């Protein structure tokens, strides 16, 4: 089942450090069957406040594929740059598969 990863970054405290993370990210990510569905620093907000500097939406064909990427030794070395240079919240959401969209709560 497809899983989605929502990355919310409210604050980047060190642009150079975050840049090092960004420079190596795609090379590692591309090895793990993930897709970047959206990434922006200025989403169109239709309700409430959006206190995030950066918002990213990723997808993976399975939670196992996502875990292989996130827990890979290469990514764990790289992610230290993001941890030192920003704050973030990350959530993994299961895809709905063949669920009836009229029955999905909003």
13-66 pLDDT tens trace: 999 999 999 999 999 999 999 999 999 999 999 999 999 999 999 999 999 999
Q: Is the pLDDT of residue 98 over 70?
A: no
Q: Is the pLDDT of residue 106 over 50?
A: no
Integer Cα distance of 4 and 90 in angstroms: 10
pLDDT of residue 101: 54
Q: Is the pLDDT of residue 5 over 50?
A: yes
CATH number for the domain that contains residue 62: 3.30.70.100
pLDDT of residue 48: 95
Integer Cα distance of 9 and 59 in angstroms: 18
How many structural domains are present in the chain? 1
**Residue 24 in domain:** yes
Beta-strand ranges (E) seen in the chain are: 3-12, 35-40, 54-60, 86-94
pLDDT of residue 100: 54
Secondary structure of residue 100 in the 3-state scheme = coil
Give the domain range for residue 20. Answer: 3-94
Q: Is the pLDDT of residue 67 over 80?
A: yes
pLDDT of residue 96: 85
Q: What is the pTM of this model?
A: 0.85
**Residue 100 in domain:** no
């Amino acid at each position: 089942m497809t899983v989605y990863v929502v990355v919310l970054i409210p604050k980047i405290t060190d642009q150079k450090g975050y840049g090092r993370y960004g420079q190596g990210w795609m090379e590692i990510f591309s090895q793990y069957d993930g897709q970047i569905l959206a990434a922006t620093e200025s989403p169109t907000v239709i309700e409430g406040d959006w206190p995030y500097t950066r918002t990213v939406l990723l997808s993976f064909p399975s939670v196992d594929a996502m875990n292989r990427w996130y827990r890979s030794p290469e990514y764990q070395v790289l992610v230290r740059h993001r941890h030192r240079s920003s704050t973030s919240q990350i959530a993994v959401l299961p895809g709905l598969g063949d669920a009836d969209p009229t029955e999905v709560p909003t």
